[in-house]
Amino acid sequence: MKLLIILSAMTAALQAAALDISSTAGKLREAVNGATAAATLKVSGSVNAADIMFIQSEMMSLTSLDLSGAAIEEYNGEPLLNSVAHSPAGSIPPAAFLGMKLASFSFPSNTTSIGDGAFGATALTAVEVPAGVTAMGSSAFADCQALASASLPATVTRIGTGTFRGCGNLASVTIASPIREIPALTFAGCAALRNIDIPRSVRIIGERAFADSGLAAAELNDIDSIAPWAFAGCRALASVTFSGTTPDAIGQGAFFRDSNAEVRLGGLMESLSEIQPHSFTGVKAVSGLGTPAASSVGKVGEYAMAYTSPGTTVYLPAELREIGEAAFANWRGVREIDVTDLPDLPEIGPGIFGDIDKPNTILYVAAEMIPAFSDAEQWKEFDIRARTSGETGVDMPATPAAAEVKAWFEGTLIHLASTAAITSVELYDLAGLRLAVVPAAGTLSITLDTAPFPGRAYIARVNHGPSAATLLKLAR
């Protein structure tokens, strides 16, 4: 009995010992010779997909696997456990080591691609993808909870979706390759990932690519598009900047509830035609809405910029035609909203401003639009005022000798009648600050309403053409 126990113990120890073997493709099972409980395996020679799936299915105790001395040869044969019947030379097949205890792995010398889920849910602590690898499949290293660092060589041209998804301890990533896209879910759930240098070659950020990650800053250079929810739920994200070519598309919820993020829109307003629903909902602050600038934004989706701080002054561009439900709800710190360039009231959804303090917030509008805004739901509660142009001084060119202009007040209305055609009227205060410009189509009479403007005395410049005008000082 004692002898049997000793022999059994010796057999178990032998099986658990480190294996260093030479093999040829398709013959690894024979070379292992039953020692499937080994914790360490080093193979030289050659292997194929069948050998790799043998390791995956029968050597589950492995914590270290070194294939650096072996080359992967082509496999053509019966479908393997991963349903693969053909696997090219240099390719690590799909699900090759899925779920194994591997903490250390050395790649075969001729590796050119890594299949879908090849190292998913393993115990790897570090990954250095070797030069020569050009493609990495979807979820190749997903859910590797012990993975702390990863680097991709310059030879990689494509990575699949969810490559490092759910790697909660991944803190360091180096991407040397000129990839064009960071696909969907690539770093989703990587809570320890604080910083990453996004290659300048990247033009597309995929859906949920960084969602719920620990990213602290995002510098987005020459990005063409950002997919929905790309950076959603990044609680540590503090700074988002756009430079170079700005995206012409930012998907729904791209920065949703990034509660510490300060997003610097820069030239973004010039490249976007629409701000999608929930794009910036709940971010700490957005800048770039404070002054008139070139803009192509015609639509702002529901909750797109709700629960954030856009600064004290916000400018809404002339192109804006539609504002979705609660798009600007609960803006913090806003004191002035400038809509002077809006030629018409935009179509609006319910509660576009939420609980903003409208009576104590100035809404600057064009003088001719005061009646429209004053009668419009959701706008009329603001402190509505006409915005002056900021231009000072009243220069009067020569007046045609035949022109005679009469002016009189009727309440707040100024009536003007001229013997020469009127092309426009400019209204100034006594300091020379222009209050309004009212166009006229060559008529002989025009009426202006001074109700929106302070004071009781004005200067009216009645233009008769490009080189003639009549200047009048008026008081009511």
Residue 13 pLDDT greater than 60, yes or no: no
**pLDDT of 227 higher than 70:** yes
Eight-state DSSP code of residue 270: H
Task: Say how far apart CA 376 and CA 352 lie, in whole Å.
Answer: 13
Q: Report strand pairing: 113-114 vs 91-92.
A: parallel
Q: Which residue has the higher pLDDT, 323 or 370?
A: 323
- Report d(CA 395, CA 165) in Å as an integer: 67
Residue whose entry in the numeric block shows the structure tokens 């400018």? 315
Q: Among 187, 288, 304, which Cα is nearest to 243's?
A: 288
Nearest-angstrom CA–CA distance, 258 and 211: 10
Q: Is pLDDT of 462 > 70?
A: yes
Return the residue matching tokens 């100024």: 414
Tokens of 52: 């790799």
- pLDDT for res 439: 82
Which DSSP string corresponds to 204-231? EE-TTTTTT----EEEEES--EE-TTTT
3-state secondary structure of 345: coil
Tell me the pLDDT band of 396, cut-offs 50, 70 and 90. Answer: low
Query: CA 240 to CA 463: how far, in whole Å?
Result: 49
**Helix, strand, or coil (residue 9):** helix
User: In this predicted model, what pLDDT tens digit does every residue of 252-311 receive, in sequence order?
Assistant: 999 999 999 999 887 788 889 999 999 999 999 998 887 676 688 999 999 999 999 999
Q: How many CA atoms lie within 13 A of 48 on its CB side?
A: 18
Q: Is 245 helix (H, G, I), strand (E, B) or coil?
A: coil
pLDDT of 401 strictly over 60: no
Sorted by sequence, the CB contacts under 8 Å of residue 466 that are 6+ apart come out as: none
Using CA atoms, how far apart are residues 251 and 327, in angstroms rounded to an integer? 15
Q: What is the mean pLDDT of the chain?
A: 90
Reported as a single tens digit per residue, the pLDDT across 155-191 is: 999 999 999 999 999 999 999 989 999 999 999 999 9
- Helix or strand run (H / E) with residue 49: helix 49-58
Calculate the alpha carbon distances from 65 to 68, 108, 169, 209 in Å: 9, 10, 22, 30
Do 428 and 440 touch, CB atoms closer than 8 A? no
Joined tokens for residue 212? 């719920």
pLDDT at 214 > cutoff 90? yes
